[in-house]
Structure 1
Amino acid sequence: MQAQLVFYADNELLEGPIFDYGNSLLYFVSIFDGLVYCYEPSTKKILSVKLDSPVSNIYIKDKKNVLAASKNGFYEINFNTLQAKFTFQIEIDDNARFNDGIEDAVGRLLIGTMGYPEIIPNLGKVFSFYKGQYKIIIENTDISNGLAFSKDNSLLYFIDTPSKKVAKYSYDMNSGDVKFEDYIIEFKENGSPDGMCRDGDGNLWIAEWGGACLSLWNPSSGKKLKVLDLPCPNVTSCTFDDKGGLYVTTAKSDNQDNNFGGGLFYFENSNF
């Protein structure tokens, strides 16, 4: 299956795609440019708002209104007015920035951190923010990356990229606490796991940094089920749209085969 190039603006590192199913809008970020993008597939129109520090991920509020996490704080962005308003901050180390995040079923905002501008072993954490309060739920990570919930929300899957593994945690929806259970997937080839999303069957689509693909895994068996190839090595994350297709973000690389790395790609739904 061929990946379609949807958007390319010579960005270094696109990340954090998330689809607003109620309004058929896609959001994603360019981390180091501090740019938050809103893309409307029906019109191909794309809007952007620039923040003043690296931006990592997005939480949807309502139509063309999102919350974006940046190193300098969480900002509410209105794409109708193209205005950003500071909302709150989670205090992190000066030599860290935020990375991947996800919202749980009751509205908690989960978000990981990593060293910045250099990766620092064991500096990363995963925070949970709810009703104005935050706490640490996972510690001592290198690059806190992909987060996904099981279909019944009882499990949290988590990627610390350099480990080349996907961890499984039990998740208490009442308290927001987690408990490590096991490593369920291990990457043994060139690619390292980055961002991910879950499909309707409960399987995990995982972006492979250095692997030039998305790979599909069964979290119960730990087996790889399928691969979708991309034309650039560094694949960062993915999300489903309302037609069952997959949007995929990528990053630049020094590889000579880096065709449109830093672009946004799309796989049409053909049952993959």
Structure 2
Amino acid sequence: MTKNLIYFSQSAELFEGPIFDSKYQLLYFVSILDALVYCYNPNTKEILSVKLDSPTSNVYIISEKVVLAASKNGFYEIDFKTLKATFKFQIDIASNVRYNDGIEDAVGRYIIGTMGYPEVISGIGNVYSYHKGTSQIIIKNTTISNGLAFTADNKSLYFIDTPTNKVAKYNYDLKTGQVEFVNNVIEFKGDGSPDGMCIDKDDMLWIAEWGGSCVSQWNPLTGKKINEITLPFTNVTSCCFDDESNLYITTAKNDNKLSSNNGSGLFHIKLNQ
């Protein structure tokens, strides 16, 4: 296993939301508070960015170099071939929240959570589902909506509301987009709090630990930790797989102002070599 620091910015406070486009071999991620969306080509090492006008939390892949980005002021289609952004729609959310982590389901619904902004407020968030012009709330009264992951059969949705320090499991109805809470499958008891999350081919969960300096791998069927990848950043925010089952990881600025790692980082962890 090797760790490669691909991109680093001294000024960025909060890298998040990595998602890999296997078809076109591109990685997208965001700098939330800078309202920046990045497109990284791991083959050419080119990094492109587009700036929106409000905090931007995650992207959904549409086509080659075209994504839908969720910002506080709405969802924008970004074309990285022209570096242009076009407003597409907005969900009816409160003025004192912003979007956070999101995921697309197997039929094209955009699922996304909210959290208080500019300050965190307990229970003010929700998880929304948006499809063909209609939105609905599927999980209510969250505080910091974070990781979302579907099992391979699309029958289960895992979800993290960070302050609970737990990963919740929901039954997912792909026909209606409705969820039903089952139970909490993982509980964090160490220094790290669960943040972003992805799922591997065996339905094991890989969870970025804010304050824990690592990404940890868990079996949601047993609630046990399987593996841990440590990083030289305290606040690890999210992760995703490339098409070779290697891991991209985003990190945020360290809380300790005396730390030598005072920006945000993007890592590529080669698990299969």
Which TM class, normalised by the smaller chain length? over 0.9
The 8 Å contact of residues 253 and 262 in structure 2, kept in 1 or not, is answered as yes
Distance between the aligned counterparts of 2:213 and 2:2, measured in 1? 13
2:254–2:261 contact (8 Å) kept in structure 1: no
1:101 is matched by which residue type in structure 2?
G
How far apart, CA to CA, are the structure 2 residues paired with 1:172 and 1:254?
A: 40
Question: Following superposition, which runs of at least 4 residues in structure 1 exceed 4 angstroms of deviation?
Answer: none
Tell me the residue number matched to 2:117: 116
Aligned counterparts of 1:5 and 1:85: Cα–Cα separation in 2: 32
- CA-CA distance at 1:258 after TM superposition: 5.5
Matches within 5 A, 1:23-62: 23-62=24-63
1:68-97 CA distance string (max 9 Å, x none): 000000000000000000000001111100
| Structure 1 residue 260: Cα displacement | 5.6
Report the secondary structure of 1:162's partner residue.
helix
Q: Which residue of 2 aligns with 1:85?
A: 86
Q: Which amino acid aligns with 2:28?
A: Y
Q: Distance in 2 between matches of 1:237 and 1:83?
A: 26
Equivalent position of 1:20 in the other structure: 21
SS of equivalent residue, structure 1 residue 32: helix
Deviation of residue 40 (structure 1)?
Answer: 0.2
1:3 matched residue in structure 2? 3
SS of match in other structure, 2:34 = coil
Determine which of 258, 261, 273 is the counterpart of 1:259. Answer: 261
Give per-residue Cα distances to partners, 1:179-228, cap 9 Å, x unaligned. Answer: 00100000000000000000011100000000000000001111000000
Contact 2:2/2:271 (CA < 8 Å) preserved in 1?
A: no
SS at match of 1:175: coil
Partner in structure 2 of residue 100 of structure 1: 101
Q: TM-score, normalised by structure 2?
A: 0.97
CA–CA separation in structure 2 for the residues paired with 1:20 and 1:86: 22
Deviation at 1:243, TM superposition (A): 2.3
Q: Is the 8 A contact 1:231 1:258 kept in 2?
A: no
- How far residue 120 of structure 1 moved from its aligned partner, in angstroms, is 0.2
Q: Root-mean-square deviation (CA), in Å?
A: 1.0
AA partner of residue 8 (structure 2): Y
Pairs within 5 Å for 1:129-140: 129-140=130-141
User: What displacement does 1:266 show?
Assistant: 1.0
User: Structure 1: 5+ residue runs without aligned partners?
Assistant: none
**Cα distance in structure 2, aligned partners of 1:100 and 1:60:** 14
Mapped contact 2:200–2:245 kept (Cα < 8 A): no
Write the letter of the residue equivalent to 2:5: L
Query: Aligned partners of 2:259, 2:166: CA distance in 1, in Å?
Result: 26
- What amino acid sits opposite 1:70 in the alignment? S
Q: Identity of aligned pairs, percent?
A: 63
**Do the aligned partners of 1:249 and 1:262 also contact (CA within 8 Å) in 2?**
yes
Q: Which amino acid aligns with 1:60?
A: I
Which of 256, 267, 270 lines up with 1:268 in the alignment? 270
Displacement of 1:2 after TM fit?
4.3
Question: What TM-score, normalized to structure 1?
Answer: 0.98
Separation in structure 2 between the aligned mates of residue 206 and residue 40 of structure 1, nearest angstrom: 24
Measured at CA, do residues 100 and 243 of structure 1 come closer, stay the same or move farther in structure 2, by a change above 3 Å? Answer: same
8 Å Cα contact 2:9/2:263 also seen in 1: no
Q: Could you tell me how far apart the structure 2 residues matched to 1:184 and 1:91 are? A: 31
Distance 1:123 1:95 in 2: 9
For structure 1, which segment, 237-246 or 10-19, has the greater mean C-alpha deviation from structure 2 after superposition?
A: 237-246
Supply the AA of the counterpart residue of 1:188.
K
Indicate if the aligned counterparts of 1:232 and 1:257 stay in contact, CA closer than 8 A. Answer: no
CA deviation profile, 1:143-191 (whole Å, cap 9, x unmatched): 0000000111100000000100000000000100000010000000000
Whether 2:31 is the aligned partner of 1:66: answer: no
Query: 1:270, CA displacement in angstroms?
Result: 2.7
Match of residue 233 from structure 2? 232
Offset of residue 253 of structure 1? 1.8
Aligned length in residues? 271
Deviates further, 7-16 or 77-86: 7-16
Match of 1:217 in 2: 218
